[in-house]
Amino acid sequence: MPNMVIKGLGNYIPEKVYDNAYFESIVDTNDEWITRRTGIKERHIAADNEYTTDLATNAAKAAIADAGITPEEIDLVLLATVTPDYFTPCCACVVQDRVGAVNAAAFDFNAACSSFITGMVMAEQFIKNGTYKNILLVCADVLSKVADYKDRATCVLFGDAAGAAVLSADDNAAGVLASELGADGTGSMYITSLAVKEDPEEIEKRVSGRKETVWMAGQAVMKFAVKTMADATNRVLEKAGLTYDDIKLVIPHQANYRIVDSALNRMGIEKDKVMLTLEKYGNTSASCIPSALTEAVREGRIERGDKVAIVGFGGGLTWGAAVFEY
């Protein structure tokens, strides 16, 4: 049975930057509050005419180039987003066309910020059972298009980005050593972004009163996140028979520095083993992990053979954790 390896990685970060001073100019906030409560200094924002499929295509092309395969060799395009260009077509089909993955099946899925790990676990099934050899997994979002820029509690958190990986069959690699996915639908209304259902109660919660914005019960999500991140990572390490000493780098979902810090304390690991991109990009949803992974490799913080732990949580509520050999 082949194992699944990350053959190539890529990310795309839009050019425009909103720093904390920008938010001071639009809502009642300040750099000190945002820095102390979140750790975020800047976020990159898509241009007016730049959408999820545009960011996704750029990250996907970079990952394919990094993998050293041709687009025709891709068997499946999996794309995760909570900000699709359209309900239909799915973003995966648009990206399939734009990168020239003419032989690939394609579909979108949504496990919010846990999507990269969810996508890896899905891809692993197709690869291990021999259905596919090369899968392009892309996570992309333009949260700036749905942020409520009248709600200081949420708008300061989000940025736009895309991260992609080519996941391939390899008979000799160790690949994914253990993984876990989970959901807790009792918290489903803690993070909401509305679609076709008429829901006046939800619209009422939005400071702007605009249906097409994201709303979040920040504190409730934060409590869930701290516990879930540490517990899920501990469980996958145990399943793999490893300890934190075996792990070169932990890459968590980048939502809030305080969440990461509390989770690290629960895990009992040092900060220098953690990859953080939060300060410069903010929370970019599912792309946080693949984008940070791309940069960790680029910066030489991970090399082939190193063991890496990734852990995410988000809307749904969902979570996922995995440990793999890069």
Q: Which of 98, 128, 152, 235 binds ligand UT7 (CB under 6 A)?
A: 152
Cβ proximity to ligand UT7: between 125 and 219 the closer is: 219
> Cβ atoms within 10 A of the Cβ of 238, count?
11
Catalytic residue of the set 3, 93, 283, 288:
283
Catalytic residue of the set 155, 253, 256, 288:
253
Q: Known catalytic residue: 172?
A: no
Q: Name the residue among 66, 67, 47 with its Cα closest to residue 55.
A: 47
Return the SS3 of 314. strand
Q: Which of 70, 129, 219, 243 binds ligand UT7 (CB under 6 A)?
A: 219
218 binds ligand UT7, rule: CB under 6 A = yes
Q: Hunting for tokens 């997994």 — which residue is that?
A: 137
Strand-pair partners of 45: 16
52 binds ligand UT7, rule: CB under 6 A = no
Pairing assessment for the beta strands 105-109 and 42-45 based on DSSP bridges: unpaired
Binding map of ligand UT7 across residues 64-103, x = CB under 6 A, - = no contact: ----------------------------------------
Q: Which of 22, 24, 35, 37 binds ligand UT7 (CB under 6 A)?
A: 37
Interacting span for ligand UT7 (CB under 6 A) from 119-127, 162-170, 192-200, 217-225: 217-225
Cβ proximity to ligand UT7: between 166 and 263 the closer is: 263
Tell me how far CA of residue 5 lies from CA of 67, 225, 303, in angstroms.
11, 28, 13
Interface residues for ligand UT7 in 275-314 (CB under 6 A)? 283, 314
Q: Known catalytic residue: 90?
A: no
Cα separation, 36 vs 253, whole angstroms: 18
Q: Name the residue among 165, 214, 213, 161 with its Cα closest to residue 54.
A: 161
Q: Which of 33, 109, 149, 244 binds ligand UT7 (CB under 6 A)?
A: 33
**Cis amide leading into 89 (omega within 30):** yes
114 binds ligand UT7, rule: CB under 6 A = no
Looking at residue 274, the DSSP 8-state letter turns out to be B
Q: Which of 222, 231, 242, 261 binds ligand UT7 (CB under 6 A)?
A: 222
Interacting span for ligand UT7 (CB under 6 A) from 6-14, 28-36, 135-143, 263-271: 28-36
**Residue 145 — φ and ψ, nearest 5°?**
-75, -20
Helices (H), the chain: 20-26, 31-38, 52-67, 91-99, 115-128, 152-155, 200-205, 218-240, 257-267, 278-281, 288-298
Interface residues for ligand UT7 in 171-210 (CB under 6 A)? 191
At residue 191, what is the residue type?
I
Cβ proximity to ligand UT7: between 146 and 153 the closer is: 153
Interacting span for ligand UT7 (CB under 6 A) from 86-94, 195-203, 212-220, 238-246: 212-220
156 binds ligand UT7, rule: CB under 6 A = yes
256 binds ligand UT7, rule: CB under 6 A = yes
146 binds ligand UT7, rule: CB under 6 A = no
Both structure tokens of 321: 């954790």
Looking at residue 13, the DSSP 8-state letter turns out to be -
What angle separates helix 257-267 from helix 31-38, to the nearest 10 degrees?
20
113 binds ligand UT7, rule: CB under 6 A = yes
255 binds ligand UT7, rule: CB under 6 A = yes
Q: Which of 143, 169, 176, 225 binds ligand UT7 (CB under 6 A)?
A: 225
Q: Known catalytic residue: 113?
A: yes
Handedness of CA 101, 102, 108, 109 (dihedral sign): negative
User: Could you list the active site residues?
Assistant: 113, 253, 283
